[in-house]
Amino acid sequence: MKKDLIDIQDLSREDIDELIAVAEDIIADPDKYAEKCRRKKLATLFYEPSTRTRLSFEAAMYELGGQVIGFSEANSSSAAKGESVADTARTVACFADIIAMRHPKEGAPMVAARSTHIPVINAGDGGHNHPTQTLTDLLTIAREKGRLDDLTIGCCGDLKFGRTVHSLIAAMHRYPGVRFVLISPEELVIPEHVRTDILQANNIEFLETRDLEAVMPELDILYMTRVQRERFFNEADYIRLKDSYILTPDKLTYAKPDLAILHPLPRVNEIAVAIDSDPRACYFRQVLCGKYIRMALILKLLGVK
């Protein structure tokens, strides 16, 4: 049976640990993997803008010896003429071996997966899920901290629309000793379904607060997020909330010396550029982890050893 990745919860903890181990092996010996996907094609179907996700998927496939086809905006595909996601996926499956899809509508990659016989990877669907960003985050945390358990993880910013935070919580709650500190303005708190169905349902310790500086000394990981302009109905609300949290060097005064600062990027204004030279700033190393974990995922879904 073909495998897809639509939601991070499609993967068991064992699956995740295996993907991380393969990614580590690729980092250690990239030449071993250089021909693994010869004659295979990845289709990147991006109906929404992307820099990291699309280009890291494409780099991943090229570094596995494969090829890439696709589009980077809906308007350059027949979606502009009204073609459905299902028909597009069925068509692309005639040309490619695996699909990575980003779409503004929640559930679109699931529709694509049900319409084709080839694996479909959700590369971000609306405010819902972004499982390959979560795999990227997990590899980054594993490399930076040497573990995925016994961590206090602060998630800061737009926790309502931030799909990467929802997926991160859904993945990390399975590791023992993980505690979440959720830092956001009142209007952008974590959705009720994440609070009840994941955190409370699994007895995960969590704290909700507005005050980043007060909780900074507790944090092992600080996961900053952008306020998602594209998800707001009202521009005035976005402008009022967009600079709710700006991480500046003075705010790190009481942070742990081995804090790891992550951000899925793109950054707008929520981390001052002055932080970039702090060794605790991991977000550009995180980008590179995205390529390696996507290489591991492509191999797994294509069944390539």
The catalytic residue positions are: 52-53, 81, 102, 130
Q: Which of residues 170 and 215 has its CB atom nearest to ligand CP in the complex?
A: 170
Which residue(s) pair with 102 in the sheet? Answer: 46
**Contacting ligand CP within 25-64 (CB under 6 A):** 50-53
Does 265 contact ligand CP by CB under 6 A?
A: yes
Q: Which of residues 212 and 289 has its CB atom nearest to ligand CP in the complex?
A: 289
Q: Which of residues 265 and 293 has its CB atom nearest to ligand CP in the complex?
A: 265
Binding mask 158-187 for ligand CP (x = CB under 6 A): ------------------------------
Contact predicate 250/184, CB 8 Å: no
Q: Which of residues 63 and 215 has its CB atom nearest to ligand CP in the complex?
A: 63
Shortest Å, Cβ 205 to ligand CP: 27
Does 73 contact ligand CP by CB under 6 A?
A: no
Contact predicate 179/152, CB 8 Å: yes
Does 228 contact ligand CP by CB under 6 A?
A: no
Shortest Å, Cβ 134 to ligand CP: 11
Shortest Å, Cβ 286 to ligand CP: 9
Residues that bind ligand CP (CB under 6 A): 50-53, 124, 133, 264-266
